[in-house]
Chains A and B, each alone.
Chain A
């Protein structure tokens, strides 16, 4: 490491930058205000000649910290990738010339904008250090697969095929899980006409003959600690502690308890079964005629009731669709039709959901085999004197029907086996014990399954299992990185993640296997997982300054931070996703990253040239999330949407990393308005760090007090949820803020 920081600025003149801006002046400012040793200009910085010029200075030891003043940090990333130097990008193209009109009037303010961005880039890079891995890395080429069902087996096999070791921990005494209970599965190949073998026997055979896979039956994970690359898992009973690089949780689902549907007579008569019950009957019949459980007579007609206790807002029902049940019912109706085409098999549905081309073909093939479909709502299944009748309303013919049937099959849903909900644990902590006892009994009647035992038993500050989003399914960023959970290096796959069928579980298991391998490889070299994949920086904290307030350990969306006995945070670098939510949370500002800290952004904020109150040149600060808001701003530039020249934009890793000190510093140094742009929050969040945007909104809702103390209007600070497509909205937000400032007047704190 160089003993002294040597700063250099490289200013590009291409893409029309030199026609619109006074480059000599910018270079002068980089030297005078930015205090850089070298300030060079180039006609075309990103071409090989320009890059060579920078590389030559780096090689000669002339510079250790560089500012590249050219296009957006999102453009030309390959050209401007230099090893062993800290880099700041100053956005003169998308951020300045492309959002300003090319007129004589605008020239002055546009030039000022560019000059400020140069100052900000220089200030930022001055406070950066080059990130390097912490040295706490570990790497074990061994993946723990929790759950030996179809998903777990598929994942383990994929891991072994890729050359890594896998260990399966299965709670029961046999592999195969629910899939092994199926007589046949829905077809996966064209023409999707007939149910096919469930393939479990073959899968188990492949697992058992693979020397890279270890199987522990009748076993559970009683404790998990550590981080990606070095998880230590205690496997009970008697197997002891093993070390793993990453973990796949394929704990599957529990079938919804149909006895909670008294209106459908489940449990009252053996002639009402759920789908797994029918699989058992079909297995027994083994291709022959399926028999009625009550009297052993051949079933002559069968009714399938879709959405039994699902997609329903009634108490005790599941509100969601389990995705596979329509396909499963068609498959099961085929069991009857294939054995005897004269059996009447009717499916009563409200909306039939047959996902994908395979689903549609399979539906058609079911119809061709003579399975009939009736759009209707079943209100009741009555069992009297050995007879079962289904009462339903035909929605096409609009009439009530009472239909006797030999056998009724209920399509009930999937309930995820996701262990203990840490969010419930957190709220319980705050509640009084008395209240808790009361509410718990009450809740039990509403939520059908309260997860009783933990699956991973994580020794994490934030609870023993993967966090859940809604309905007990594990949380993941559904759009951008569905396999990542909120615990780095632990991947959920199969119906524990969302309801799915075996075809989808195959994909899920394969995806999770590859992510698990990537995670352990990353952990070995200290690199972050999604979305900052490859990032080597990690949070460092100054213990002397820490007040043990625990905000960071509580707010970390990924449970990366534990606490020691004294309540000091313990950062686990490999578990960290580098969002900086801890940095934003810290009231005493002792948490920072080498290349991203309270200082790098704070100094950039303070470095702008602040015109005095009577100049009629306000200054607006935008802190924009680099994931969605910053690209939206870039796109506004690419499409030449103009916005105010008074704005200064700083990208942040996540709005969650915004420390309120930046806001008060900005106001104190004379900014007239501040806009925070983050991602969508809430249950349908798009925040790339799950909770970052939510935390930022929460923190900013409290900023009013600070503003009042400073006797400033609350309109000066605004927080927005921005989507990556909002390229029309972002300029409007900025211009609206400029108009607001014009109305309420300038910030009096200008020096």
Chain B
């Protein structure tokens, strides 16, 4: 499907990945990789990912844990001499990989992101209490209890200062027309799926 050093995968990225059309603009200076505070923990730093895309390494890129390491500090964007929106491209790649079911399993960022999306897309508003709890318990019940106890003080503080509404647990607030929102999201997904299908041969 993607041959080495042919441009198929590059074209796929350009079509389906957020800001993917910028990938060809990378001039391989390496400033992004050098600027990344988590750089040493990345399997492939951004510069290398861009090269891998051009080299047609589809599986290696999409299955990589690298872009999931991005913490959105925006150092790379601020410093890139070619003004590539590197952070957005990283998130775009991660999203695209998840969409294709290629993203690494048990990736913490991925897990959290999925929970965030589920929480948000249901009502059109983030339910912070539910989001927090789902985050605390995502790695099992015992881990969740431990985490909750750790954060006890913060939670109580927020409760007292009315930053946290305990009744949100009962369903919480939403946007005016959550059904309409669901329809928009469904349509968007259909459009994206159609675009992706084009590259699935």
Contact = CB atoms under 8 A, between A and B. Distances in A.
A367 B5 contact: no
- Most chain A beta-carbon contacts within 10 A, residue among B4, B5, B28, B52: B5
B4 A367 contact: no
A368 interface: yes
Interface stretch (A145-153, A286-294, A369-377): A369-377
Interface in A292-321: 301
Contacts of A301: 6
A401 B48 contact: no
B98 to A, nearest CB: 24
B47 interface: yes
A364 interface: yes
Task: Please report whether the interface of chain A is mostly helix, strand, loop or mixed according to DSSP.
Answer: strand
Contacts of A133: none
A399 to B, nearest CB: 9
B7 interface: yes
A257 to B, nearest CB: 29
Given A344-B6, A374-B5, A403-B4, A397 B52 contact: yes
A370 B27 contact: no
Contacts of B51: 374-375, 394, 396-397
Contacts of B52: 397
B5 A346 contact: yes
Contacts of B47: 396
B55 A374 contact: yes
B43 to A, nearest CB: 12
Interface size class of A (residues with CB under 8 A): 10 to 19
A375 B28 contact: yes
Interface string B145-159: 000000000000000
B5 A397 contact: no
Interface in A376-404: 394, 396-397, 401, 403
Contacts of A373: 27-28, 54
Contact of A396 (B10, B24, B28): B28
Given A396-B47, A397-B48, A401-B4, A374 B54 contact: yes
B25 A364 contact: yes
B30 to A, nearest CB: 9
A367 B57 CA distance: 19
Contact of B25 (A344, A367, A397): A367
Contacts of A375: 28, 51
A397 B55 contact: yes
Interface in B1-47: 4-7, 10, 24-25, 27-28, 47
A363 B25 CA distance: 9
A372 B48 CA distance: 14
Contacts, number: 46
- Most chain A beta-carbon contacts within 10 A, residue among B4, B7, B47: B7
Contacts of A397: 48, 51-52, 55, 57
A368 B47 CA distance: 18
Nearest to A390: B5
Contacts of B4: 401, 403
A270 B27 CA distance: 32
A401 B55 CA distance: 10
A368 B25 contact: yes
A343 to B, nearest CB: 9
A346 B3 CA distance: 14
B5 A401 contact: yes
Contact of B24 (A352, A372, A403): A372
Contacts of B24: 367-368, 370, 372
Nearest to B24: A367
A381 to B, nearest CB: 15
Contacts of B6: 301, 344
Interface in A323-382: 344, 346, 352, 363-364, 367-368, 370, 372-375
B44 to A, nearest CB: 9
A397 B44 CA distance: 9
Interface in A90-115: none
- Most chain B beta-carbon contacts within 10 A, residue among A301, A363, A367, A368: A367
A373 B25 CA distance: 10
A317 B52 CA distance: 32
B23 to A, nearest CB: 10
A394 B53 CA distance: 13
Nearest to B21: A368
A374 B51 CA distance: 8
A329 B47 CA distance: 23
B7 A370 contact: yes
A183 B97 CA distance: 44
Nearest to B52: A397
Contacts of A374: 5, 51, 54-55
Contacts of B27: 352, 363, 367, 373
Contacts of A368: 24-25
Contact of A372 (B7, B57, B82): B7
A375 B5 CA distance: 12
A8 B10 CA distance: 83
A173 to B, nearest CB: 43
A394 B54 CA distance: 11
A397 B61 CA distance: 12
Nearest to B51: A396
Interface in A224-267: none
Contacts of B48: 396-397
A618 B27 CA distance: 63
A377 to B, nearest CB: 14
B7 A394 contact: no
Contacts of B25: 364, 367-368
23 contacts: A301-B6, A344-B5, A364-B82, A367-B25, A368-B24, A368-B25, A370-B24, A372-B7, A372-B10, A372-B24, A372-B54, A374-B55, A375-B28, A394-B55, A396-B47, A396-B51, A397-B48, A397-B51, A397-B57, A401-B4, A401-B5, A401-B55, A403-B4
Given A352-B27, A396-B28, 7 more contacts: A368-B24, A375-B28, A394-B55, A396-B47, A396-B51, A397-B51, A401-B5
**6 smallest beta-carbon distances between A and B, as pairs:** A396-B51, A372-B54, A344-B7, A367-B24, A403-B5, A367-B25
Interface of B: 4-7, 10, 24-25, 27-28, 47-48, 51-52, 54-55, 57, 82
